[in-house]
Chain A
Amino acid sequence: MAETNTESGLAPDALYRACPPAPLSDEPVEEIDLLFGQDRAKEALRVGVGMSAQGYNVFALGPSETDKAPLVRRLLEQEAAAKEPPSDWCYVFNFEHPNEPRALRLPAGQGPALQTDMEQFVDDLQTGLAAAFESEEYQTRRQLIVDEFHQEHQQALSELNSKAEARGLAFLHTPTGFLFVPVRDGQVLSPDEINDLPEEEQERLKAAVEELQEELLHLLRSVPAQQRKMSERLRDLNRDVARYAVEDLIRDLRATYQAHPAVQSYLDAVEADIVDNINNLLPQVLRLGGAGFSGETLRGGLQRYTVNTLVAHENANGAPVVYEDRPSLRQLVGRSENRIENGVLVTDFTLLRAGALHRANGGYLMIDARRVLQQPFAWEALKRTLRAGEIRIQSPYEEIGLVSTVSLDPEPIPLNVKVVLVGDRWLYYVLQALDPEFDELFRIEADFEDEIDRTDESERRYAQLLRRLAERADLRPLQPEALARLIEHSARLAGEATKLSMEIDTMREIAQEANFWAGENGRDAIAREDVARALDARRQRAGRLRERTQERILDETLFIDTEGTAVGQINGLSVLQIGRDAFGRPTRITARVQLGTGKVVDIEREVELGGPIHSKGVMILSGFLGARYATEQPLSLTATLVFEQSYSGVEGDSASSAELYALLSAIGEVPLRQSLAVTGSVNQHGEVQPIGGVNEKIEGFFDICRERGLTGAQGVLIPQANVKDLMLRAEVVDAVRNGEFHVYPIATIDQGMERLTGQSMGERRDDGTYPPESINERVASRLEHFAEERAEFQMSQDGQEQSVT
């Protein structure tokens, strides 16, 4: 790049580094490493993903426009493809602790198979139990037990009846019990007839009645015990029949899952539970009969023998890579759903649902950092889960103590996952500073570059990247000239002509818009003009505030001169970033001096509109002045600096050189050219230091001058160190080429002052003086005059005090 520094300023070639389109010519797009230029991040990801120790999760940080998430995901998918699919996880009923469902681990793909097999088992069980308990054999055996009890009871009653008869008594049944009463010839004796009997006979009958009553009472009191025995025998019968019905079905399942001890143990528990609870299951079984598997089967006792497959990897070709874009607590760690039964919310193990951590278990989980922090309880739950190394499904209401009713507490599932958080850089540093657990859990930062060096090779690969993006977005192909324009804009975005921005999202947007304009123009491919049009349109859309500011300057609401000269007044430059747009804006800076005590007063700071960096810049001016002009006598002036018509905060020191020019002008009463604007910070040695936003600042002043009419005398002074950052609009470059506008690189305050005044600063002589009529001499003379005035004033003050005392 040619860069000629002449009296008329920088050559046009120095203002814009074009990208030659020839090397970007249309050739097959090879498989580009989309992480090119991101070596730091790539290496960090490789290490983070490869390390299995706890705590080595990854935070991928960088500007949101760097398209981190898809790049990271692609890398994770490559890694995951080489790994084996992880285990399936199921939840089953816990027969010992019903509120604590058990977790079953199975090889990949076996979870759904077990679920299906158990559904079939329940179906067969229902049919088998119904058949067994409706069989004639069971009914007969049951009836035998019942009959035995009844027969024993009836036999006893019959015997009592016989005894009663033998003693001349009748054994009568009442609605609630029994009576023994005397009879004769089959008829119950009336009280009168009884009284007519001999005393002895009455006594005998009475004794017999009482004896039989006692015997009957004893018999009836034994009934509950006998009924319990009968119930026990019936229960044993039911258990035997159930065991018989279940054995066959369980045998087949045991054979299928013989290689899985956990399943074997579960089947043991199922079998035991069916047998132990057959009395509770029977009503449902017999009611449904052999109806088979149905929704009703799932409710009630048989549901407990089903399996809930929480996560399965039956068709997986590697480890899972999960991107959770709604990282709420429930979405992360799973949830327990509810259903309504009889107006009440109920839940059970079949209603447990997997979260992203379950799905990613054994693989990788990507989460947007900002989103997880915005979700209540999610961040804490994520950290807790990573620390514990297990996933526990918990209700969010339990977290805040709103619910204390009995709910499910499923067995936690061991966690083996690599979490990759994706977020902005500032967020990473905030977490690092404020969350003590963060560093322990996310030890690897994958820092994505905002920009890369701009070389021939990187331009070529960048072009390939853009072409790949266009392909994936189904855009028209990009002509080499269009690619070149995009690359040039990428440098503009990076703020340096020697860099390329990695804001891939932004580049993709521009390509999308250029594609639109290509269509509007009837083109089959995207041309340079389409890219330029897209950029102009974006600038136009975001330019309302810029245009309003410009209007206010042009209609002289805001005072900015672009011609003539003035003492103690200069055009400074600042950048305003509003939304997507950043634009430069000239501001009048003025300086006034008076007799004083050597203080440079920053009015912005005094009214608390100046930030600390701005204040620092102003203080540096004092250092410069003192070092150059006050080595043998103190500064005896008070100077005030202000950004005229600025009513919002001022920060940064990029205007400190302009402030110094204004100050020197005010002290030496040397007029400054108002056709020039200045940007650049200054140090105490008078060296002009680089600043940011140089392109926007130049263009901001240019736009005003253009609207008023370019005179050929207008231009901008910029730090020499910022020349390499120049990527100015074509309009500006053309104006420079035509001699209508100028950009002057400045390395020292002396250079700048000479440019602004057209006069020589003057070299300091050995005796410490400066050449006559030089700017330095005039400044030094003025300061000396202030010092003398001050001394006189001081002496007069002292004299007055002495006369008083």
Chain B
Amino acid sequence: MDKSKASPDPTDIRRVLLPLPPSTLDAEAVRVVTRLAGQLRAEILGLFLKDETVGRGAAVPYAREVRRLPAAIVPSSPEGTERQLQAQIRWAEALLRKEARKTGIRGRLQVATDSVVDTVRSVSGAGDLIVIGEPVLRAKGMDSLLESLVGGVHPVLTIPPWHLLPPLGIAVVFAPTSNGVRALQTAGQMARRLRRTGITLLVLNDDAERDEETIEGVRRFSEAHEMHVSVRRLAALELPHLAKAVPTEGHGLLVVPRPLLQPAMRQMLHTLRTLPGPFLVTP
């Protein structure tokens, strides 16, 4: 993808990036996210994160691999480990292409040797949506990883369990700022492409004047996108309120503009991760 080419609409999602760490490579993740990409009418790029240290470790004379299935200790070698990795890459690539073909979109796999954050930062461009799935979320150091990704320039979507895609409803935590509007537009686009007829606006601001402005803005948005918008007041960006506010009890997607997570980004991300459903952080 040509990063230099500016997208006419910064909220237009045109590609989905899916990091695929080999240790937790999940076929379900590929299927689900590819389908989502199809519904968003975007391409999908799988990022196979190859760890080069594994090959070096296998070269140690007394190194033995402890196999998972069946549980056993077997000799290891760099060559053997490399063959395993290549086989895994081929399998992932084939799966991705097949699922993309079924969905009618372009899909490919790219092999990277950097960390998740570095790889994403080097690969991503305008119009990209980064999807972080459950296996990655469970990995050690995920909080900082997520914080790093969310701190970038692209929206990041987290999916705790795969079966909660596609979302049945979409809620947007809204503040009448440029970020808030962008989040709203991103949510509106997703809703339209996922064929949802409406979204829920969770309004934080109590200011009466701002309320009128908000309502007017919402009305214009609704007319422009032919989308029904229901408005709810959100007392605070706190878990109990959020949990009740997200429609369809976990089957809904929560869209949050990143600035609202500041200054305690990590803590807020941790809070959001305790929600049963997915959330999308927009830049």
| Interface, chain A (partner B; CB < 8 A) | 134-136, 139-140, 143, 150, 154, 158, 161, 170, 172-182, 188-191, 194, 206, 209-210, 213-214, 216-217, 220-221, 223
Contacts and interface: CB of A to CB of B under 8 A. Distances in A.
Contacts of B249: 135-136
Contacts of B63: 179-181, 209
22 contacts: A136-B250, A158-B140, A170-B53, A172-B53, A173-B22, A174-B23, A174-B54, A174-B58, A175-B25, A175-B85, A175-B87, A175-B88, A176-B69, A177-B68, A179-B64, A179-B76, A190-B56, A194-B61, A209-B62, A209-B64, A220-B71, A223-B71
Given A177-B68, A181-B58, A188-B53, 11 more contacts: A135-B249, A136-B276, A170-B53, A176-B65, A176-B69, A181-B53, A188-B56, A190-B59, A213-B73, A214-B73, A223-B68
Residue from B22, B56, B57, B87 having most chain A Cβ neighbours under 10 A: B57
Given A136-B249, A136-B250, A181-B57, A175 B276 contact: no
Nearest to A135: B249
Main secondary structure of the interface of B (DSSP, over half): mixed
Contacts of B84: 174-176
B60 A189 contact: yes
Nearest to B78: A191
Interface string B1-39: 000000000000000000000110100000000000000
Residue from B23, B54, B138, B250 having most chain A Cβ neighbours under 10 A: B54
B51 to A, nearest CB: 7
A173 B138 CA distance: 15
Contacts of B217: none
Interface size classification for chain B: 35 or more
Contact of B161 (A143, A170, A214): A143
Main secondary structure of the interface of A (DSSP, over half): helix
Contact of A173 (B23, B62, B74): B23
A565 B66 CA distance: 131
Nearest to A177: B67
Contacts of B57: 170, 172, 179, 181, 188
Contacts of A174: 23, 54, 58, 65, 76, 81, 84-85
B138 A150 contact: yes
Given A139-B250, A191-B60, A220-B71, A173 B66 contact: no
Contacts of A221: 71
Contacts of A216: 66
Contacts, number: 106
Contacts of A194: 60-61
Nearest to B164: A139
B68 A220 contact: yes
A206 B161 contact: no
B58 A179 contact: yes
A223 B66 CA distance: 13
Contacts of B81: 174-175, 179
Nearest to B243: A136
A134 B56 CA distance: 46
B224 interface: no
B56 A217 contact: no
B72 A217 contact: yes
Nearest to B59: A191
A149 B69 CA distance: 18
A213 B61 CA distance: 14
A209 to B, nearest CB: 6
A134 B251 CA distance: 9
Contact of A181 (B56, B85, B276): B56
Contacts of A179: 54, 57-58, 63-66, 76, 81
Contacts of B138: 150, 154
A134 B66 CA distance: 38
B64 A143 contact: no
Nearest to B61: A191
Contacts of B251: 134
Nearest to A158: B140
Nearest to B58: A179
B128 to A, nearest CB: 27
Contacts of A223: 68, 71
Contacts of B23: 173-175
Given A139-B276, A143-B161, A220 B66 contact: yes
Nearest to B81: A174
A411 to B, nearest CB: 42
Contact of A175 (B22, B53, B60, B140): B22
Contacts of B53: 170, 172, 181, 188
Interface in B231-265: 249-251
B67 to A, nearest CB: 4
A747 to B, nearest CB: 107
B6 to A, nearest CB: 39
A161 B23 CA distance: 15
Residue from A175, A176, A188, A190 having most chain B Cβ neighbours under 10 A: A175
A194 B62 CA distance: 11
A182 B60 contact: yes
A149 to B, nearest CB: 12
A291 to B, nearest CB: 15
A32 B101 CA distance: 84
A219 B65 CA distance: 14
A683 to B, nearest CB: 103
B184 to A, nearest CB: 26
Contacts of B276: 136, 139-140, 143
